[in-house]
């Protein structure tokens, strides 16, 4: 019975991703973000449950990637699609171009994130060298980066920041950068604790503490900074090791 527990948790991630996708299509990006956060929580918890129960399986590995494809691959693509529509129409409260029978190519570039996520997850499934660390930005981290953009607009409501976020060149650049980081050869540390000692987990503990401080002081503005810090600290750590 216990071997089914991690897979059930993974299926909760699937459910959250499906609900998030529905709200993202409806341009209810705040609600979509809530379900992405829940899905990523289940994504972390299913792996933890599998390790604690010692019931890891090939089925679980495949199911986990399929769940990530929805929550952390499809949904960020839809969110970027909506943001690119906003960049063309100049605001949040917009009628969709489909209703006016005006089809623009630009917003569909947002799905480069989904394509990049699919390729990254497929590579991850056949790569046996990503147990202790990741090669390329994990899809959940990338999803958090993308989903943070509408939340920054909603909760910080800074005119200058909003203008930057809704700049089509910024969004296109971020989309391309996102797809690249997902499939780059940058080695990034994983937040997996085999032991709880500080010495062997110093980088993880420092990252968690700094991330919490940033979140408390800067709220959603902290998310992009945390992702940048995650990448830079991993690169610096790798340089020291080698």
pLDDT value for 24: 97
pLDDT value for 193: 61
pLDDT value for 197: 67
Model pTM? 0.89
Task: Report in angstroms the alpha-carbon separations of 112 from 63, 126, 144, 175, 205.
Answer: 23, 22, 16, 7, 33
Instruction: Please tell me the distance from the alpha carbon of residue 68 to that of residue 62, in angstroms, as a whole number.
Output: 10
Instruction: Please tell me the distance from the alpha carbon of residue 197 to that of residue 41, in angstroms, as a whole number.
Output: 24
Contact 116, 72 (CB under 8 A): no
Per residue of the chain (242 residues), give pLDDT as tens: 677 788 888 999 999 999 999 999 999 999 999 999 999 999 988 777 767 677 777 787 889 999 999 999 999 999 999 999 999 886 654 444 444 446 689 999 999 999 999 999 999 888 776 666 789 999 999 999 999 999 999 999 899 999 999 999 999 999 999 999 999 999 998 877 666 666 767 888 899 999 999 999 999 999 999 999 999 999 888 776 65
Domains detected in the chain: 2-189 (1.20.120.1760)
């Amino acid at each position: 019975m216990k071997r089914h527990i991690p897979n059930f948790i993974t299926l909760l991630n699937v459910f959250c991703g499906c609900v998030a996708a529905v709200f993202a299509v409806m341009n209810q990006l705040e609600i979509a973000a809530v379900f992405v956060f829940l899905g990523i929580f289940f994504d972390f918890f299913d792996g933890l449950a599998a390790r604690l129960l010692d019931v890891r399986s090939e089925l679980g590995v495949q199911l986990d990637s399929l769940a990530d494809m929805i929550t952390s691959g499809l949904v960020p693509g839809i969110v970027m699609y909506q943001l690119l529509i906003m960049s063309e129409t100049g605001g949040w409260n917009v009628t969709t171009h489909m209703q006016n029978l005006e089809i623009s190519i630009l917003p569909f570039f947002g799905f480069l994130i989904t394509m990049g996520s699919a390729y990254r997850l497929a590579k991850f499934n056949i790569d046996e060298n990503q147990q202790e660390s990741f090669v390329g930005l994990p899809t959940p981290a990338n999803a958090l980066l993308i989903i943070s953009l509408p939340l920054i607009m909603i909760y910080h409501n800074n005119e200058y920041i909003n203008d930057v976020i809704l700049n089509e060149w910024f969004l296109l650049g971020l989309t391309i950068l996102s797809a690249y980081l997902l499939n780059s050869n940058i080695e990034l540390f994983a937040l997996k604790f085999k032991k709880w000692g500080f010495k062997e987990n110093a980088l993880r503990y420092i990252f968690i503490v700094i991330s919490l401080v940033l979140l408390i002081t800067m709220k959603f503005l902290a998310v992009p900074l945390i992702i940048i810090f995650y990448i830079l600290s991993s690169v610096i750590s790798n340089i020291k090791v080698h």
